[in-house]
Amino acid sequence: MLGNLEFGKSTITNKILNKKVRKEGEVSKKSGVGKQTTTDVTLYEIDEKTYLLDTPGFQTLDISDILSRDLGRYFREIKTYVRFCKYPGCSHIKEENCGVRKALKNGKISEQRYYNYIRLYSELRDGEKNRW
C-alpha cells in the first residue's frame, strides 16, 4: 500500500487484517506531532495469492526512470489486455484495434485507472523528450 505521509495506510492495513498488526516500537515510532509513523516495510500474507505491503509514507513519488512505452506493465488491468492490441508497441491512447481501449469501452477497465495511465504516460513522454 502506497500513500502520502499520515495518509492512514497502517490503519487501513489493520482494518483489512481485522486485527492490530503493529507492536508499539517494533516497526513504528512517535513523530513530533504525536502520530504513528511507519518506519519499516512489512509484508502481510492475506491468502495464498494475495499479499499486502505496508510501506512508510512518502512526500513525492518519482517514476521518471520508467519509460513511457513500459508504463502499461505497471497497470495490471492494462497488462491483461495488451495481448489483444493489433500493433506491437501500442500506447493504448489513440491506436485503432487496441485491446486496452476496447476493454475500457466494455467496462473491463476502470475509467479512473485508465485516465491515470494516460496522465502518467504523458508526463513520462514529456520527460523523455528532454532526457536526451
pLDDT digits (tens, 9 = 90+) for 43-57: 878 778 877 777 776
Tens digits of per-residue pLDDT, 49-104? Answer: 877 777 776 666 678 888 999 999 999 899 999 999 999 889 999 999 999 999 99
Residue with the larger pLDDT of the pair 96 and 4: 96
Q: Measured between alpha carbons, how far is residue 58 from residues 22, 50, 125 in Å?
A: 19, 24, 24
The yes or no reply on domain 68-131 and CATH 3.60.15.10 is no
Measured between alpha carbons, how far is 48 from 30 in angstroms, rounded to an integer?
33
Residue with the larger pLDDT of the pair 82 and 9: 82
Measured between alpha carbons, how far is 76 from 79 in angstroms, rounded to an integer?
5
Measured between alpha carbons, how far is 25 from 35 in angstroms, rounded to an integer?
13
Give the pLDDT band (50/70/90) at residue 25: very low
What pLDDT score was predicted for residue 4? 65
Q: Of all residues in the chain, what percent carry a pLDDT higher than 70?
A: 73
**Per-residue cell: 4:** 502520502
Residue with the larger pLDDT of the pair 9 and 31: 9
